[in-house]
């Protein structure tokens, strides 16, 4: 599993779906991309689309139990408040320990306090803030400006915090008062030694096309530059990329935020340049030697990292938990102010529904975590070992509020690892994030995927919400809980053409989408915390029906692939292995209702579970 790969990594930065440009350039010439179909390509055998089977309908008894809960949360979810959270939080460059991160935590805490959560005592809805040492130094900045400086002429600003928002790299140090003026040197790529041949960059500002980290290491650490300006953008935006648009690149105002290594001795800096800014700088160099005036005011803080913990106490099994988490850090509106806003408003709506008697109190405790991605989840598990042992399920919420007509993303459930994470299938593709490192021997079937998909489809009946799923890939808080053995999944949107850029702003978010996701996650989590024997058997039947359809489909489509393969015998062996893996996974998924049920069960319940799961034990799926 891929616990170390986070949303910060350059691999993910390099897979935006399309160019995120200024409103006057490419976006004005090209229609918004259509929402991806579940099946991206026709069958490679027949040329006829082989669609994944639709999810089976939710059993009527389960729907009757869930619908009042869904209706109450739907009515209680405050979309206006969710959007206001996004607008407030996204004004900050949020890193654990800095003022913007803490202001975001405090805003959510105040909202939940107003909604009846208390910070003392043992009430039904409680709040607390956990702290731990932050290794990120709480960096932030108020000024980050690059201007072309020519003697006798006014400075011409090409990059600034006011216009470009995220141009200054994390861990950049302040310049002296008034800034510095330094020679600008273009080194081409800048991450290879040959790029510096015959060039003296000591004390200069180096302009290069390599990623900011690689450029900084070569220019500053090895050659003594004062700082760097990286022009790096994803490769598919290059002029020779397939499908590249004939829009002048030097008008684009997009840039992807980045970081350099913290180095207290060098006290250097890095910037990311948009294509527009890069073109201006290179035009200045074409006119002759050029200098830049760099002005930076940045801060570092050793304040602790904070995790806001909100809990709705379970009525009968309060020591068992269902966890929902959203990460606070990062500077974007969709990533991840929308996840924080969604989690806050769904927590409020669940609590309000319980207090009004519209939602039965859960048997297990519902735990809401607002935290620093990856490290916050690890710290919570480490600091609360007894609570961690009793977490039954977990859902992560990352980029939950996208306006899909603007971003090009679509809502996805990233599933708890199933055979789709091991064997790539045209009809069940990974997202552009890419597959994780999952082996067949690691798979353990669980009901979570199919139950949550069914609840999402139930919520989708209230709107035109499109629900899709992707195999497990990893990279957010669900990975951490999954590594601890907790069945976990991710609710997210991808691919987003504004991902990790200065253009991930509140106008790209949708309050309706936050409500769709929030209601679905809340209703699923409530059921995971509340299922009695009857509901658990209904879930077993739902999972079995889904599994039967999936295995039948895999067998049918796999046989077509094998017949068309250059080595049919080997292909049939492979296909038999895949079908066997799905059968084993669904046998375990049905049996996992023993983990779901919140009441003592008798032999009749156990026998019923065995009966429902029996078709996956032997013989072909029907």
End-to-end Cα distance, the chain = 32
What pLDDT sits at residue 21? 29
Question: Is pLDDT above 60 for 430?
Answer: yes
Nearest Cα to 371, choosing from 132, 99, 146, 27? 132
What pLDDT sits at residue 9? 32
Question: Is pLDDT above 50 for 459?
Answer: yes
- Percent of the chain whose pLDDT exceeds 70: 88
What pLDDT sits at residue 200? 96
* Residues ≥6 apart with Cβ < 8 Å to 41: 426
Q: At what angle do helices 99-114 and 337-355 cross, to 10 degrees?
A: 20
Token output for 183: 């020679």
The b/e string for 590-608 (b: 16+ C-beta within 10 A; e otherwise) is bbbbeebbbeebeeebeeb
Averaged pLDDT for residues 43-58: 61
Average pLDDT of the chain is 89
Least confident of 47-56, 80-89, 169-178, 297-306: 47-56
Token output for 425: 């299938």
Cβ pair 310, 117 in contact under 8 A: yes
Question: Is pLDDT above 60 for 601?
Answer: yes
What pLDDT sits at residue 236? 44
What pLDDT sits at residue 53? 78
Query: Half-sphere exposure of residue 495, counting CA atoms within 13 Å on the CB side?
Result: 20
Nearest Cα to 614, choosing from 528, 536, 548, 550? 548
Averaged pLDDT for residues 112-139: 91
Classify the phi-psi angles of 185: left when phi > 0, otherwise alpha if psi is within -120 to 50, otherwise beta: beta
Cβ pair 303, 130 in contact under 8 A: no
CA of residue 440 relative to chain centroid, distance: 25
Question: Is pLDDT above 50 for 237?
Answer: no
What pLDDT sits at residue 37? 33
Q: Band of the pLDDT at 619, cuts 50, 70, 90?
A: low
CA dihedral 608, 612, 617, 618 (to 10 degrees): 110
Q: What is the chain's length?
A: 622
| pLDDT tens profile 245-294 | 445 666 689 999 999 999 999 999 999 999 999 999 999 999 999 999 99
Averaged pLDDT for residues 482-494: 97
Cβ pair 108, 308 in contact under 8 A: yes
What pLDDT sits at residue 259? 97
What pLDDT sits at residue 136? 72
Averaged pLDDT for residues 147-176: 96
Q: Band of the pLDDT at 120, cuts 50, 70, 90?
A: confident
**Residue 292, strand partner residues:** 148, 182
What pLDDT sits at residue 248? 61
Q: Band of the pLDDT at 497, cuts 50, 70, 90?
A: confident
CA distance 484 to 467: 28
- The 3-state secondary structure of 353-382, one letter per residue: HHHCCCCCCCCEEEEEEEECCCHHHHHHHH
What pLDDT sits at residue 32? 28
Question: Is pLDDT above 60 for 238?
Answer: no
Which H/E stretch holds residue 366? strand 364-371
Token output for 249: 């690149």
Token output for 567: 């080595």
Cβ pair 622, 557 in contact under 8 A: no
| pLDDT tens profile 13-33 | 233 322 232 232 222 222 222
Question: Is pLDDT above 60 for 50?
Answer: no
Token output for 225: 């530059």
What pLDDT sits at residue 435? 85
| pLDDT tens profile 376-405 | 999 999 999 999 999 999 999 999 999 999
- The 3-state secondary structure of 253-299, one letter per residue: CCCECCECCCCCCCCCEEEECCHHHHHHHHHHHHCCCCEEEEEEEEE
Fold entry, domain 140-299: Glucose Oxidase; domain 1 (3.50.30)
| pLDDT tens profile 294-313 | 999 999 999 999 999 999 99
Which position has the higher pLDDT, 357 or 11?
Answer: 357
3-state SS, residue 302: coil
Averaged pLDDT for residues 585-612: 97
Averaged pLDDT for residues 495-519: 94
| pLDDT tens profile 326-371 | 999 999 999 999 999 999 999 999 999 999 999 999 999 999 999 9
- Percent of the chain whose pLDDT exceeds 90: 82
* Residues ≥6 apart with Cβ < 8 Å to 194: none
| pLDDT tens profile 169-182 | 999 999 999 999 99
CATH number of the 10-136+303-528 domain: 3.40.630.10
Token output for 68: 């009042």
Q: Band of the pLDDT at 235, cuts 50, 70, 90?
A: low
What pLDDT sits at residue 134? 84
**Max CA separation in the chain (angstroms):** 90
CA distance 531 to 608: 16
CA distance 84 to 463: 22
């Amino acid at each position: 599993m891929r616990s170390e790969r986070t949303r910060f990594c350059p691999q993910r930065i390099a897979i935006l779906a399309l160019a995120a440009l200024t409103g006057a350039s490419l976006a004005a010439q090209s229609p918004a991309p259509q929402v991806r179909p579940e099946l991206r390509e026709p069958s490679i055998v027949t040329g006829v689309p082989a669609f994944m089977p639709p999810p089976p309908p939710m059993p009527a008894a389960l729907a009757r139990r869930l619908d009042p809960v869904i209706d109450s949360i739907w009515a209680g979810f405050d979309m206006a408040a969710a959007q206001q959270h996004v607008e407030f939080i996204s004004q900050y460059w949020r890193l654990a320990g800095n003022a913007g991160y803490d202001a975001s935590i405090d805003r959510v805490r105040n909202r939940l306090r107003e909604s009846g959560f208390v910070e003392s005592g043992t009430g039904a809805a409680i709040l607390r803030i956990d702290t731990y040492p932050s290794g990120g130094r709480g960096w932030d900045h108020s000024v980050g400006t690059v201007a072309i400086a020519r003697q006798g002429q006014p400075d011409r600003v090409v990059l600034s915090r006011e216009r470009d928002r995220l141009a200054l790299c994390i861990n950049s140090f302040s310049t002296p008062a008034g800034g510095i003026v330094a020679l600008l040197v273009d080194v081409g790529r800048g991450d290879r030694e040959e790029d510096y041949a015959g060039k003296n960059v000591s004390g200069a500002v180096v302009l290069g096309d390599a990623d900011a980290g690689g450029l900084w290491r070569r220019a500053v650490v090895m050659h003594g530059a004062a700082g760097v300006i990286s022009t790096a953008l994803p490769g598919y935006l290059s002029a020779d990329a397939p499908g590249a648009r004939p829009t002048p690149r030097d008008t684009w105002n997009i840039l992807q935020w980045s970081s350099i290594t913290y180095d207290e001795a060098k006290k250097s800096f890095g910037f990311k340049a948009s294509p527009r800014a890069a073109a201006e700088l290179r035009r200045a160099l074409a006119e002759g030697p050029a200098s830049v005036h760099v002005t930076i005011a940045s801060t570092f803080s050793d304040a602790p990292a904070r995790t806001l913990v909100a809990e709705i106490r379970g009525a009968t099994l309060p020591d068992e938990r269902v966890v929902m988490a959203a990460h606070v850090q990062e500077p974007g509106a969709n990533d991840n102010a929308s996840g924080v806003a969604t989690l806050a408003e769904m927590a409020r709506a669940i609590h309000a529904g319980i207090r009004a008697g519209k939602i039965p109190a859960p048997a297990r405790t519902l735990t809401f975590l607002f935290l620093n991605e990856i490290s916050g989840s690890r710290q919570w598990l480490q600091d609360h070992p007894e609570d961690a042992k009793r977490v039954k399920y977990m859902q992560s919420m990352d980029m939950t509020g996208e306006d899909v007509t603007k971003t090009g993303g679509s809502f996805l459930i990233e599933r708890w690892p199933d055979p789709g994470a091991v064997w790539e299938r045209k009809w069940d593709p990974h997202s552009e994030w890419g597959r994780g490192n999952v082996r067949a021997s690691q798979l353990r079937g669980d009901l979570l995927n199919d139950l949550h998909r069914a609840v999402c489809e139930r919520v989708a009946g209230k709107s035109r919400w499109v629900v899709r799923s992707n195999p497990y890939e990893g990279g957010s808080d669900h990975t951490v809980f999954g590594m601890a053995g907790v069945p976990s999944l991710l609710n997210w949107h991808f691919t987003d053409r504004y991902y990790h850029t200065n253009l991930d702003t509140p106008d790209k978010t949708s309050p309706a989408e936050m409500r769709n996701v929030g209601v679905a996650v809340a209703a699923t989590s409530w059921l995971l915390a509340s299922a009695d024997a009857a509901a658990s058997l209904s879930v077993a039947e739902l999972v079995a029906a889904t599994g039967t359809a999936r295995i039948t489909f895999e067998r049918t489509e796999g046989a077509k692939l094998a017949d068309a393969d250059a080595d049919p015998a080997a292909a049939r062996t492979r296909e038999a292995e895949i079908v066997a893996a799905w059968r084993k996974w669904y046998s375990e998924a049905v049996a996992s209702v023993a983990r779901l049920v919140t009441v003592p069960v008798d032999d009749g319940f156990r026998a019923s579970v065995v009966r429902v799961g029996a078709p996956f034990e032997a013989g072909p799926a029907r």
